[in-house]
Structure 1
Amino acid sequence: MPIFRGAWLSATDRDWWTTSRRSSARGSSARKAAFGSALLLVAETIGGTSPAAAREATHAIDIPAGSLESALARFSEQTGVSIGVAGALPRLVTRRVAGRMSADAALRRLLKGSGLRARRAGATYRIERAPRSAPPPPAPIAEPPLSPLTAPDIIVTSKKRPELLATVPMSISVIPLAPFGEGPATPSSRDITLGAEGLAETNLGPGRNRQFIRGVADSPFIGKSQSTVAVQIDDTRATFDAPNPDMHLIDVERVEILKGPQGPLYGSGALGGIYHIVTRRPDLDHASATLRLSGEGVQHGGVAGSVEAVANMPLADGRLAVRAVGYRIVRAGWIDNEDGRTDSNSTRVAGIRLGLRWRPADDWTVDLGVAQQDIDARDTQYVLSGNDALIRPNRIAEPTDNDFGMAHATIEGRLGGLRLVSATSIVGQGFDTVLDASAASASFGLKGAARFSDRRTYSLFNQELRLSPFDGGRWLVGLSVLGARSKGDATITDEAGASRIVDTINRRTVEYAVFGEASWPLLGRLDATLGARIFRTVSRDMAAEPEGERIRLRTKTLVSPSASLSLPLANDGIVYLRYARAKRPGGLAVSDGEGVGTYDADRINTIDLGVRKATADGRLALSGSGYFTWWDRVQSDYLLPNGLISTRNAGSARIIGIEAALDWRLGGGLSVSAGGAVQHSRLLRGADGEALDNRRLPVAPALTGRVEVAQAIGIAGWRGEAAVQANYIGSARLSFDSDLDRQMGNYAVVAARLTVSRGPWTVGATLDNALDLAGDSFAFGNPFSIREGPQYTPLRPRTLMLSIARRW
């Protein structure tokens, strides 16, 4: 049966239906019964279905996951029931619906969570928006919310088109975040790391950390090479070779972590994977606002507080809305200096984010946005005399300033049977850091105390055009142009004021790419997916040498392919086997403080075998994967004898690992989530091809594990959740260089949280590092003095945070 758009019945038909109802109401009960029987007979004669029959008859339903439009068409084919649609259907992805059920039940399942409802209109159903009202306060929590594993209808977009997580043949971790004001605190990037298997992060401090996925870790130092993990904010590529901006995750819907090489869709710099932040877009229908005030106290340290706010305002009902986010956060310090500076490593973070959504037509959406965030850290957070001491003798403060700005425009709409997406973004980042270089003064011909200052600016422009089937489909093609610029100088100044430039960065990179991915049935239920990116990179590196400026111009054409086989399982499960490759371009780097050397592009290949499976009732879900990675010409930032950071090709590496996760809702509001990962990552051969002995890749621990127990609670009309989480971080090494191969990690942390809500109010509490352990989270702090003795970065001591939020 067809799907009808626009009007449901002609004026004559409506008049006939109204007259018939009135005539029937005036007749006797016998006449009513006769008329009803006649009406049913007429409906059956013309091929229609009476409302009662449509409601009560059962049908063999098997509607695959896909767009709402294609799902409704399948529904009509399988039930013989017509569907009417007022206007254009919204762009939604529905979950699979299968089994024997009534038409009513099938439609309820298809439309669950969509904001739409099916209303009977004679022998048809009419799809319309559910009645709108002001957003109610959060409902009492009877069960903890479903995790991504036990919520098979969760949609991910990190593969650049909406897909059901249960159908994606790739290892992905999805961390859903509660709407702002409904949780005790905005999670940090460290919280995300503790909740996702395979993700590791250094601990230099906010705005200075590097992320690694599945052991693809080249160095703990912030040099000139690209990170192995690319940060993506919605459709914006946020980093190319800049440090992680560490965006505050306020008003974020979820974080998606794509594991393994992502070169086919994201190009260079995605060797380990993608860290994808998905923000909440403006709501076109409802006005709302939320304000949260928080205060924290750090044992052995100071106290601090924060204010955060989110406001949403429709400007034209259903067509235009604006959403604003603002925050100012002070994080208390806990490191003291012998010169009298106490709690010196406190940090201030301030930011705004503005988004505008415009729907000029039913099938078109325009999203515009800007964001600005400034992170100012007063000092670093390492110590020298053991990981249980929180005092050090630094003579010079070591502040860091990371300023990040972003503007973006995304246009999405329908062209015939295709979906067109145009994503344009501009990113600017300034990164300034100061270090005490007194230990290396003599190496630069200076005397006494010396101050190292590194000032860098990064800019990034990205334009993408993508086409895919409007109904969700099984393919995607795109074009991309990316331009990146990095520039900066590093200077050392002694106490007498003498200064010299010791390092420079001046690089321009342009990347042109065509990419695509397609899936199709292969044998029976087996699916095959192929993807590839062909990109041409033009890079221009400039560096200063004693005899003048050296320029290196390189043009290279690269191909990054991927291929996977997948088999769907019952209850939204999947088994998959995937291969993918990614690359990074080479460049220039200081070689000895005077000369300039070069480093070549590196390449990584990964094979990944994984499974995701949930029970029919969604209460128990398991996922697991095993992976094998080989990495050629590993680019690595490393320390020169004078403390400067350079880049080289270190050799060839191999990584083998397994990871698994479990989510279990036991009933009665109790749930358990657990996971773990084991990996073996080694640098096998040096750049000269010589075999190496037991050189572990840096930072990423060999073993990690987590478990969280959550319980829904109710206290005197307040409803909420209490949870306890424990994490074990296994041992890791700082570097595969023998003179810096220092151990870190091998500690466990426990945290707890409590959230209760009543009406528009939410009160929350979190207790981090509840046992006040002083494990060494990162065996590094200052490159100029690290060879003089051990350095430790202790865990943040026991921290209590209290918050109160109000929604309007």
Structure 2
Amino acid sequence: MAVFALAGLAAAEVPAQAREASYNFDLPAGPLTASIARFSQITGLSVGYPGDLPMVMARRVSGTFPAESALRKLLDGTRLRAVKVGPGLYRLERKAKRADVAPAAAPPPAAVAGPDIIVTGQKRQQALSAIPLSVSVMSAIDMGKAGRSLGSRDMSLDMEGLAMTNLGPGRNRQFIRGVADSPFNGQSQATVAVQVDEARVTFNAPDPDLRLIDVDRIEILKGPQGPLYGSGALGGIYHIVTRRPDPTDSEAWVRLSGSAVEHGRPGHGVEAMLNLPLVGDRLAVRAVGYDFLDGGWIDSGGVRKDSNSTHSAGLRLAVRWQPSDRWTLDAGYWMQNIDSRDSQYVTGTDDRLRRQSRIAEPTDNDFRMAHAAITGELGGLELLSATSYVEQRFSYTLDASASAAFFGLTGQARFDDARRYSVLNQEFRLSEGRNSRWVAGASMLRAMTREQGAMTGEDGMSRNVEDLRRVVSEYALFGEGSIRLARGLDATLGMRLFYSLAKDDARADRAEAERLRKSRKWILSPSLALSYTLPGEGLLFLRYARAMRPGGLAPAGMTASGHFDADELGTFDLGYRKSFWDNRLSVSAGAYYTLWDEIQSDYLLRNGLVSTRNAGRGRIVGLEGSADWRMGGGFALSLGGSVQDARLLRSEAGQKLADRRLPVAPEITGRVSLSRHYRIGSWNGQSALQANYIGDARLSFDDDLDRGMGDYTVMSASSSVERGPWSLAVRIDNLFDVRGDSFAFGNPFSIREAPQYTPLAPRTLTLSLARRW
């Protein structure tokens, strides 16, 4: 496979004169920005527009055409035309009105700005080049290079600053820029909020690991996002932007895939999409379905081979109705089920793909989301009302034999945990629409958690050891706006005032009950940014922001053993973005300094159950950067990396600590990717090689669990070809079958008996075949 990818990188030359070549196009109807990006990917031509590309829909282009002919068809009906300004360079211009006089002489060729990336993570449409905030964006075009459907862990290899635990699909926690409180899934609120379009997905639940199929882009907003998102956004936002129904054209595709796992079982999958207009250009539906079986590779107990296989299936439905030119209704439903037959850690050494376990440890994560958003004009402003309800049912089984004595048991013991998370969110917003310099709104959020845990001994009798219910309600007013201070210099101020009320139904003594009544809290989360627009395409900014999480009762089995206080985090973020050489080279860099007070952290009790405490004060200092270079000849190079120092400085008791790194987040990460687009006869092809280095990290700052992990390099290779509606892809992950330890944890009841390791998935070959209509 590596030979195949290298051959693709060095294969047939892109024609010297693109206008003389014909290409096979199958560009679906959709936003012009996406169509232009896909056109440039196929042809290797640069197409730019002075300023932000208009938000217009492009028609479908399918067939074999010269590049200029296809571009004209693509722009038909958009009131734009393409003007060639240099070799391989086109500039889009608005067509002259009929009443216009004869045009003046054409200006000399100039630098052409590529279509700007539009992001919506800050609750309004903004050009990425103008946002005074550290943001990473993975587009559908970039995700398409993978040759297979992706998940959250794949994003952590392509987007600087994102780190994750690795308990298994549907069980992981996300962290951004070192804001990591614990590797354990307890009751503390997540530091990263997962958002799908306008819907808040997580509050204190693990990442649902939604399959990124028919997704427009992934946005990662780095640093505290309290002003616009409230509590639970200390580290940032993981924003999934799905593709919306297109009322102008029918479209469908299906992809079949098969995989072979070295030392493990084969897997297979099917995924499909259907877009169907129903009423003229006013009403359309879009449906996505998928079903995957990922082969296992861990042998458990000497009798269960490759026991950790995972089955995931999902369905996503979306409706878009435009009753008039001023109003739009988007509604949808997403369901996904993940069932893993066993856990994926080993004991003894990370070189072995087996462990001795007397009890299977399956996991089930069932995700449901319903949402609706109404957007329209009101008094010259854009009004948005967004409503969403999300529910996750999460259950797992663990071998608890090592801790049986703590619960009055002998011999084998099994722990069964069942949780139900739900988030109801309602939000109203006002702005000026596209590229609005301000947004203001009000929101209501209600998050409910229900957890029940039972221990079962050899006698078959179950004993309840956990029974918790928590409800958090938040009511907020928020806003953010920018003002011009001087030419090129802007100030952006954000503010959120919200009232948080947490109610815990757990047995507590009278003193703790009194403290609980005082846990209601008014919270103010501010942000302030100064930004300077650099000549050409560039931005320099300095931002400060704060975010907070409310406190609550700390569970300890069936009772509340204490109270954990609110924690608060503030970050200074210095950022730089710049494009060079007609946008062929894009560079971004950032430096950040974070102080984190009263860190809430889930920790392991001696009996293996999880409770929550305030761990102390932490400090994070880091640098990160990335560069993307379109080198010519169809080649593209992408680089990225981060260096950070995240430490617990003082314990809750005020004791200075010599060496207590915050958990999970690696000190150093790096990636490099080289890709090439080429033609082989009538086929369009692309090949890519990527290498990632994941540096050393620690499991926990507790003395007896301060275990190392990470410090490995992993590579992948992929190639794909397409002609007309057909495409074929091949990919190898973990090219050299590296056995790195991705997570030094798997079972809380036996972790103190012996080291635990989570080896990387072995070398995996994936083949896929797709057809588009």
Same fold (TM over 0.5): yes
Do the aligned partners of residues 320 and 657 (structure 1) sit closer, same or farther apart at CA in structure 2, a change above 3 Å counting?
same
Q: Return the alpha-carbon distance in structure 2 between the equivalents of residues 151 and 259 of structure 1.
A: 24
Q: 2:98 aligns with which of 103, 121, 135?
A: 121
Q: CA deviation at 1:315?
A: 0.4
SS in 1 for 2:129: helix
Q: Specify the alignment match of 2:190 in structure 1.
A: 227
Q: Specify the alignment match of 2:642 in structure 1.
A: 677
Q: Return the alpha-carbon distance in structure 1 between the equivalents of residues 93 and 543 of structure 2.
A: 30
Q: 1:212 aligns with which of 175, 182, 186?
A: 175
1:109 aligns with 2:92: yes
Q: Specify the alignment match of 1:781 in structure 2.
A: 746
Q: CA deviation at 1:484?
A: 1.1
Q: CA deviation at 1:187?
A: 1.6
SS in 2 for 1:796: coil
Q: Return the alpha-carbon distance in structure 2 between the equivalents of residues 546 and 297 of structure 1.
A: 56
SS in 1 for 2:664: coil
Q: What is the identity, as a one-letter code, of the residue corresponding to 2:363?
A: T
Q: Return the alpha-carbon distance in structure 1 between the equivalents of residues 667 and 698 of structure 2.
A: 10
1:761 aligns with 2:738: no
Q: CA deviation at 1:499?
A: 2.1
Q: Specify the alignment match of 2:433 in structure 1.
A: 470
Q: 1:710 aligns with which of 662, 666, 675?
A: 675
Q: What is the identity, as a one-letter code, of the residue corresponding to 2:344?
A: Q
Are the aligned partners of 1:532 and 1:562 in contact in 2 as well (CA < 8 Å)? yes
Are the aligned partners of 2:314 and 2:334 in contact in 1 as well (CA < 8 Å)? yes
Q: Return the alpha-carbon distance in structure 2 between the equivalents of residues 68 and 182 of structure 1.
A: 25
Are the aligned partners of 1:438 and 1:451 in contact in 2 as well (CA < 8 Å)? yes
Q: Specify the alignment match of 2:219 in structure 1.
A: 256
Q: CA deviation at 1:550?
A: 6.1
Q: What is the identity, as a one-letter code, of the residue corresponding to 1:400?
A: T
Q: Specify the alignment match of 1:78 in structure 2.
A: none
Are the aligned partners of 1:433 and 1:454 in contact in 2 as well (CA < 8 Å)? yes
Q: Specify the alignment match of 1:698 in structure 2.
A: 663
Q: 2:523 aligns with which of 545, 558, 562?
A: 558
Q: What is the identity, as a one-letter code, of the residue corresponding to 1:109?
A: L
Q: Superposition RMSD on alpha carbons, in Å?
A: 2.5
Q: What is the identity, as a one-letter code, of the residue corresponding to 1:424?
A: T
Are the aligned partners of 2:506 and 2:559 in contact in 1 as well (CA < 8 Å)? no
Question: More deviation in 458-467 or 709-718?
Answer: 709-718
Q: Return the alpha-carbon distance in structure 2 between the equivalents of residues 761 and 261 of structure 1.
A: 44
1:743 aligns with 2:743: no
Q: CA deviation at 1:548?
A: 14
Do the aligned partners of residues 91 and 267 (structure 1) sit closer, same or farther apart at CA in structure 2, a change above 3 Å counting?
farther
1:628 aligns with 2:593: yes
Are the aligned partners of 2:50 and 2:113 in contact in 1 as well (CA < 8 Å)? no
Are the aligned partners of 2:146 and 2:718 in contact in 1 as well (CA < 8 Å)? no
Q: Return the alpha-carbon distance in structure 2 between the equivalents of residues 252 and 454 of structure 1.
A: 32
Q: Return the alpha-carbon distance in structure 1 between the equivalents of residues 217 and 434 of structure 2.
A: 24
Q: Return the alpha-carbon distance in structure 1 between the equivalents of residues 739 and 268 of structure 2.
A: 24
1:488-507 to 2 correspondence within 5 Å?
488-507=451-470
Q: CA deviation at 1:345?
A: 0.3
Q: Deviations over 1:156-207 (max 9, x none)?
A: 0000000000000000000112399886111221211000111101111000
Q: Deviations over 1:623-666 (max 9, x none)?
A: 10100000000000000001101000000000000001011111
Q: What is the identity, as a one-letter code, of the residue corresponding to 1:664?
A: W
Q: Return the alpha-carbon distance in structure 1 between the equivalents of residues 721 and 390 of structure 2.
A: 38
Percent same amino acid among aligned pairs? 55
Q: Specify the alignment match of 1:159 in structure 2.
A: 122
Q: 1:587 aligns with which of 538, 552, 571?
A: 552
Q: Return the alpha-carbon distance in structure 2 between the equivalents of residues 684 and 724 of structure 1.
A: 40
Q: What is the identity, as a one-letter code, of the residue corresponding to 1:191?
A: D
Q: What is the identity, as a one-letter code, of the residue corresponding to 2:524?
A: V
1:533-552 to 2 correspondence within 5 Å?
533-544=496-507, 552=516
Q: CA deviation at 1:525?
A: 1.7
Q: Specify the alignment match of 1:295 in structure 2.
A: 258
Q: 1:448 aligns with which of 411, 419, 424?
A: 411
Q: Specify the alignment match of 1:340 in structure 2.
A: 303
Do the aligned partners of residues 339 and 616 (structure 1) sit closer, same or farther apart at CA in structure 2, a change above 3 Å counting?
closer
Are the aligned partners of 1:247 and 1:373 in contact in 2 as well (CA < 8 Å)? yes
Do the aligned partners of residues 363 and 180 (structure 1) sit closer, same or farther apart at CA in structure 2, a change above 3 Å counting?
farther
Q: 1:725 aligns with which of 686, 690, 693?
A: 690
Q: Deviations over 1:415-435 (max 9, x none)?
A: 132000110001111010110
Q: Return the alpha-carbon distance in structure 1 between the equivalents of residues 600 and 404 of structure 2.
A: 28
TM-score by length of 2: 0.86
Q: CA deviation at 1:448?
A: 0.9
Q: Return the alpha-carbon distance in structure 2 between the equivalents of residues 532 and 188 of structure 1.
A: 33
Q: Specify the alignment match of 1:85 in structure 2.
A: none
Are the aligned partners of 1:179 and 1:251 in contact in 2 as well (CA < 8 Å)? no
SS in 1 for 2:359: coil
SS in 1 for 2:659: strand
Are the aligned partners of 1:152 and 1:166 in contact in 2 as well (CA < 8 Å)? no
Q: CA deviation at 1:569?
A: 1.4
Are the aligned partners of 2:336 and 2:367 in contact in 1 as well (CA < 8 Å)? yes
Q: Return the alpha-carbon distance in structure 1 between the equivalents of residues 316 and 55 of structure 2.
A: 31
Q: Deviations over 1:504-541 (max 9, x none)?
A: 22011110000000101112321000000000011111
SS in 2 for 1:190: helix
Q: 2:291 aligns with which of 328, 338, 360?
A: 328
Q: 1:432 aligns with which of 385, 392, 395?
A: 395
1:637 aligns with 2:602: yes
Question: More deviation in 463-472 or 656-665?
Answer: 463-472
SS in 2 for 1:788: coil
Q: Return the alpha-carbon distance in structure 2 between the equivalents of residues 804 and 446 of structure 1.
A: 53
Do the aligned partners of residues 150 and 258 (structure 1) sit closer, same or farther apart at CA in structure 2, a change above 3 Å counting?
farther
Do the aligned partners of residues 293 and 66 (structure 1) sit closer, same or farther apart at CA in structure 2, a change above 3 Å counting?
closer
Q: Specify the alignment match of 1:398 in structure 2.
A: 361
Q: Deviations over 1:482-521 (max 9, x none)?
A: 1111112111110111321112220111100000001011
Are the aligned partners of 2:449 and 2:471 in contact in 1 as well (CA < 8 Å)? yes
Q: CA deviation at 1:152?
A: 5.5
Q: Specify the alignment match of 1:520 in structure 2.
A: 483
Q: What is the identity, as a one-letter code, of the residue corresponding to 1:527?
A: D
SS in 1 for 2:757: coil
Q: Return the alpha-carbon distance in structure 1 between the equivalents of residues 208 and 693 of structure 2.
A: 26
Q: CA deviation at 1:63?
A: 7.6
Count how many residue pairs are aligned between Structure 1 and Structure 2: 689
Structure label with greater radius of gyration: 1
Q: CA deviation at 1:120?
A: 3.7
Do the aligned partners of residues 181 and 572 (structure 1) sit closer, same or farther apart at CA in structure 2, a change above 3 Å counting?
closer
Structure 2 residues without counterparts, runs of 5 or longer: 1-48, 57-76, 103-111
SS in 1 for 2:351: coil
Do the aligned partners of residues 91 and 720 (structure 1) sit closer, same or farther apart at CA in structure 2, a change above 3 Å counting?
closer
Are the aligned partners of 2:310 and 2:341 in contact in 1 as well (CA < 8 Å)? yes
1:408 aligns with 2:371: yes
Q: 1:578 aligns with which of 527, 531, 543?
A: 543
Are the aligned partners of 1:593 and 1:644 in contact in 2 as well (CA < 8 Å)? no
Q: CA deviation at 1:588?
A: 1.2
1:666 aligns with 2:631: yes
Q: CA deviation at 1:316?
A: 1.4
Are the aligned partners of 1:150 and 1:619 in contact in 2 as well (CA < 8 Å)? no
Q: Specify the alignment match of 2:446 in structure 1.
A: 483
Q: What is the identity, as a one-letter code, of the residue corresponding to 1:472?
A: N
Q: What is the identity, as a one-letter code, of the residue corresponding to 1:208?
A: R
Do the aligned partners of residues 569 and 396 (structure 1) sit closer, same or farther apart at CA in structure 2, a change above 3 Å counting?
same
Q: Specify the alignment match of 1:39 in structure 2.
A: none
Q: Return the alpha-carbon distance in structure 1 between the equivalents of residues 113 and 737 of structure 2.
A: 33
Q: Deviations over 1:528-564 (max 9, x none)?
A: 0000000001111111369999693431100000000
Are the aligned partners of 1:543 and 1:549 in contact in 2 as well (CA < 8 Å)? no
Q: Return the alpha-carbon distance in structure 1 between the equivalents of residues 549 and 770 of structure 2.
A: 44
Q: What is the identity, as a one-letter code, of the residue corresponding to 1:383?
A: V
Q: CA deviation at 1:339?
A: 3.7
Q: Return the alpha-carbon distance in structure 2 between the equivalents of residues 182 and 341 of structure 1.
A: 35
Do the aligned partners of residues 150 and 374 (structure 1) sit closer, same or farther apart at CA in structure 2, a change above 3 Å counting?
farther
Structure 1 residues without counterparts, runs of 5 or longer: 1-61, 70-89, 112-117, 126-148
Q: What is the identity, as a one-letter code, of the residue corresponding to 1:121?
A: R
Are the aligned partners of 1:305 and 1:330 in contact in 2 as well (CA < 8 Å)? yes
Q: What is the identity, as a one-letter code, of the residue corresponding to 2:713?
A: A
